[in-house]
Amino acid sequence: MAEASRILTQDTQLFHVVFNASPIGIAVENLEGQPLFVNPSFCSFLGFSEEELRNKHCVDFSPREDAEKDWALFQQLRAGSIDHYQLEKRYFRRDGSLVWGSLSISLLKSSPSPLVLAMVEDITDKKKAEEARYRHAAVIESSDDAIASGTLDGIIVSWNTGAQKIYGYTEAEAVGKPISMLVPPELPDEENKILETLKSGDRIEHFETVRITKTGRRINVSLTVSPIKDSAGRTVGISGIARDITERKRAEEALAEVNRTLLAQAASLQAREELLRVFVKNVPAAVAMLDRDMRYLQVSDRWCSDNSVEASELLGRSRELSPKMPDRWKEVNRRAVQGETLRADEDRWESEGSTRWARW
């Protein structure tokens, strides 16, 4: 009897040591869901003291949705239809923040009054990592850009919806195939150069090139390719993003063609203007060209000699400034500016104190 008592005492002490030293949160509850004992890890997990936790009910620890799932399973445990269950759920900390725990519940039937053993492992970091992966996957799948990954040998491993839209291959058709199937035959070494760059740890950004779709259509793409590294920093794969820039390239080429045409037209216009200038200057008649404001643009040598002036004295000046210009000439100028074609006429011209006749 003494030996049994001693062993029981040792077992009890061992239980307390294990209970208090466990890195996993442990609580012993009655069948009403009221905590009776909680270990330090459980207190640390939620930020409450042991006394505060013993004054709570198990459903007080979680948001309503999570608490309802837990309590529904707890009711089955009380009814005897199950003797254990597991559940991932959220918990309120004392500061109001939420953490994730993996809850394991077991029914203890050996004691005089059945008890419930609850063990909670903190999986907050794991959940955050999962959520980050889900968000990352959602971004990749919703992207209009082609996003794919591959091995260092150039074999496709993953293929998003954007890649299917751009290249025409489904995920099943692309995964396991060489990336080189997208490279045109006139660029046989391009993919090898890209892979060598990535193997050395470098990345390629906004590299513009040509790729071939499933139907054989050539498209212009802008590639950004990065190495995938493991925890030791070794390059173990590649990931690439391709954006279809075919329409942009077409627009650029169209704009370049317009610019070339305009430059050619400008050069042709300049040549014509130069030819006209030479013609007007040397024509054996008194010729003047004026703008709509009756300013001299060009004059022939004969015009200058007949008027005893230098061309530099006339160019840019208004013909209307001449005090000797008869009103009938001004009327002729006005009608010409309005677009009328006037017949040839003869008129007197006073110059250097003598009267000259001119045909207009």
- Residue 162 sits in a domain of what CATH number? 3.30.450.20
Task: Give a yes or no: residue 273 inside a domain.
Answer: no
How much is the average pLDDT of 110-117?
80
pLDDT > 90: what percent of the chain? 40
125 with 161, same domain: the answer is no
Least confident of 142-151, 154-163, 258-267, 320-329: 320-329
CA end-to-end span of the chain: 147
Exposure pattern of 144-170 as b/e (b: 16+ CB <10 Å)? ebbbbbbeeebebebbbbbbbebbebe
Mean pLDDT (whole number) for 317-341: 68
237 belongs to a structural domain: yes
Number of domains in the chain: 3
191: containing domain: 141-244
What is the C-alpha to C-alpha distance for residues 114 and 250, in angstroms, rounded to an integer? 78
**Residue 124: inside a domain:** yes
CA distance 48 to 56: 10
pLDDT value at 182 more than 90 = yes
Alpha carbon 354 to its chain's center: 82
Give yes or no for residue 166 having a pLDDT over 90.
Answer: yes
Give the Å distances, CA to CA, from 329 to 249, 299, 316, 334, 335.
58, 18, 19, 9, 10
- Mean pLDDT score of the chain, rounded to an integer? 84
Contact (Cβ atoms closer than 8 angstroms) between residue 118 and residue 91:
no
Cα distance between residue 221 and residue 6, in whole Å: 80
Asked if residue 112 and residue 79 are part of one domain, the reply reads: yes
Same domain for 230 and 326, yes or no, is no
Q: Do both 227 and 172 map to the same domain?
A: yes
In a domain, 272, yes or no: no
Are 107 and 185 in the same domain?
no
pLDDT for the residue numbered 7: 44
Question: Residue 1 — pLDDT band, cuts 50, 70, 90?
Answer: very low
Same domain, 22 and 124: yes
Q: Pick the last residue of a domain from 214, 244, 274.
A: 244
Assign 119 a pLDDT band (cuts: 50, 70, 90): very high
What does the pLDDT look like over 137-147, one tens digit per residue?
Answer: 777 777 889 99
Stretch (H or E) spanning 340: none
Q: Would you say residue 348 lies in a domain?
A: yes
Q: Answer whether residue 57 is part of any domain.
A: yes
Positive/negative CA dihedral, 40, 44, 50, 53:
negative
Same structural domain, 202 and 172:
yes
**Run of H or E including 141:** helix 124-142
pTM here?
A: 0.50
How large is the average pLDDT for residues 191-200? 87
Residue 73 or residue 5, greater confidence? 73
pLDDT at 128 over 50: yes
pLDDT at 154 over 60: yes
The pLDDT assigned to 251 comes to: 85
Q: Which residues pair with 244 in a beta bridge?
A: 221
Are residues 205 and 303 both part of a single domain? no
Do 234 and 148 share a structural domain? yes
Out of 13-22, 33-42, 228-237, 243-252, least confident range: 13-22
Instruction: Please give the pLDDT value at position 331.
Output: 74
Q: Say if residue 45's pLDDT is above 60.
A: yes
In a shared domain, residues 113 and 156: no
Judge if 119 and 202 occupy the same domain: no
Under a CB-based contact definition with an 8 Å cutoff, are residues 274 and 299 in contact? no
User: Of the residues 215, 244, 273, which one is the last residue of a structural domain?
Assistant: 244
Distance of alpha carbon 146 from alpha carbon 239, whole angstroms: 11
Instruction: Specify the pairing of strand 146-150 against strand 288-290.
Output: unpaired
pLDDT number for residue 8: 43
Kindly indicate the confidence band of residue 360, based on its pLDDT and cuts at 50, 70 and 90: low
Most trustworthy range by pLDDT among 68-77, 128-137, 312-321? 68-77
- 4 vs 299: CA distance, rounded Å: 133
Q: Say if 252 falls within a structural domain.
A: no
Q: Which of 129, 159, 180 is the last residue of a domain?
A: 129
Q: Is the pLDDT of residue 96 over 60?
A: yes
* Mean pLDDT, range 337-352, rounded to an integer: 62
Q: Are residues 212 and 170 in the same domain?
A: yes
